Amino acid sequence: MWKDKAMRLLMVSAASTSVFLVVLIFFFLAKESAPFVLKPGLSALFDTQWIPVSFVRERYGILPLVTGSALVTGLSMLFTIPLSVLGAIYIAEIASPVEREFLKPFIELLASIPSVVLGFFGLMVLAPLIKSLFGLGTGLTALTGAFLLTLMAIPTVITLSEDAIMSVPRAYKDASQALGASDLQTIFQVIIPAALPGIIAAIMLGTGRVIGETMAVLMVTGNSALMTWSPLAPVRTMTATIAAEMGEVSFGSIHYQSLFWIGLVLLAVTFVLNIIAQRVLVRYGMMK
């Protein structure tokens, strides 16, 4: 029996690593960014300018990066939500079984295209297109990034929304049709409302993905840390800033600490989105 107990212990400790890892991630991000609180102080983060390397005065305001991320994410969700929800409705309710067998792996395929390859495609094809379409000086804009992020969010949101739609009890559909509703009325007035909590959770998880995406936005959004709400202006996101600048900082410097602060903000935002999404799923009994 000792072997049985030993194996059990092994499995418990393996499973505990996940908890341990979460604690470690929070701890390390906090540890590396902590000295910033003493000098130059937390208020420096709320500056409206991000100029971490300067001969005059360095400024560590992450606000332009936050608005950059918010702009790109917001735009991308504007495209993602209608496309994905309609896509999920199509796969779950309208497509023939043969079509479904083809469409589902195809969407999964999109999920496995590396983000750097999508970024490369954006650089080669999408950016020139946007440049000539809007007559801009550069095609590297928030909109370009948003399009690529839409491609990255679509698989997550379609797959999870489709799960939500599929989990609506068949009886709802039967009852609706027995009352004389047409297929379309049944979809939009019975099935979608019933699946709504799951769809909302899917959208939130998709948003979390989009905020955290790094390479594609780094390559196509133009990387200028300006505070702007124009979709056709170049912007710089939080993730792109970390990726672009971490290679050049000296470890432990204030610049280094400020990059960890950005990481901490990213972690907090995605953590909250994730937890709320799970709450919604549990609350409406949609957890598998």
Partner 1 sequence: MNTRKEQIIYWLIRMVMYSIVLVIGYILFDIVWNGVPALSWEFISEYPRKGGAEGGILPAIVGTLALLVGTIAVSLPLGICSAIYLSEYAEQTRFTTMIRLAIITLAGVPSIVYGLFGLGLFVLLLNFGTSILAGCLTLACMVLPTIIVSSEEALRAVPRGYRDASLALGATKWETIRTNVLPYSLSGIITGSILGIGRAAGETAPILLTVAAFYLPRLPNSIFDQVMALPYHLYILATQHPEADKVLPLQYATALVLLLLVLGLSLGAIFIRIHFRKKYRW
Site residues (CB under 8 A) for partner 1, limited to 178-237: 182-184, 205, 208, 211-215, 218-219
In the three-class reduction of DSSP (H, G, I as helix; E, B as strand; rest coil), residue 235 is classed as strand
Stretch that binds partner 1, among 46-54, 131-139, 164-172, 256-264 (CB under 8 A): 256-264
Q: Quick one: 94 or 229, whose CB is closer to partner 1?
A: 94
Which listed residue (25, 42, 78, 133) binds partner 1 by CB under 8 A? 25
Phi then psi dihedrals of residue 35, to 5 deg = -55, -20
Candidate ranges 15-23, 38-46, 47-55, 227-235; the one touching partner 1 (CB under 8 A) = 15-23
Task: Write out 31-88 in H/E/C secondary structure.
Answer: HHHHHHHCCCCHHHHHCCCEECCCCCCCEECCHHHHHHHHHHHHHHHHHHHHHHHHHH
Site for partner 1 in 98-127 (CB under 8 A): 103, 105-121, 123-125
Cβ atoms within 10 Å of 247's Cβ, excluding its own: 6
- Position 284 contacts partner 1 (CB under 8 A): no
Smallest distance from the beta carbon of 7 to partner 1, in angstroms? 4
Confirm or reject binding of residue 154 to partner 1 (CB under 8 A).
Answer: yes
Stretch that binds partner 1, among 13-21, 44-52, 59-67, 190-198 (CB under 8 A): 13-21
Contacts by 279-284, CB closer than 8 A, 24 or more apart: 280/197, 280/200, 280/201, 280/204, 281/197, 281/198, 281/201, 283/197, 284/197, 284/198
Helices in 237-283 by DSSP H: which ranges?
Answer: 238-245, 254-283
Token pair 């799951």 is at which residue? 198
Q: Is 79 in the site for partner 1 (CB under 8 A)?
A: no
Q: Position 144: which residue type?
A: T
78 in contact with partner 1 (CB under 8 A)? no
Does residue 4 interact with partner 1 by CB under 8 A?
A: yes
Q: How many residues bind partner 1 (CB under 8 A)?
A: 83
CA distance linking residue 29 with residue 4, whole number of Å: 38
* Residue in the block written with tokens 């994730």: 274
By the rule CB under 8 A, 253 interacts with partner 1: no
Question: Residue 175 interacts with partner 1 (CB under 8 A)?
Answer: no
| Nearest-approach distance from CB 57 to partner 1, in angstroms | 26
The answer to whether 162 contacts partner 1 (rule: CB under 8 A) is no
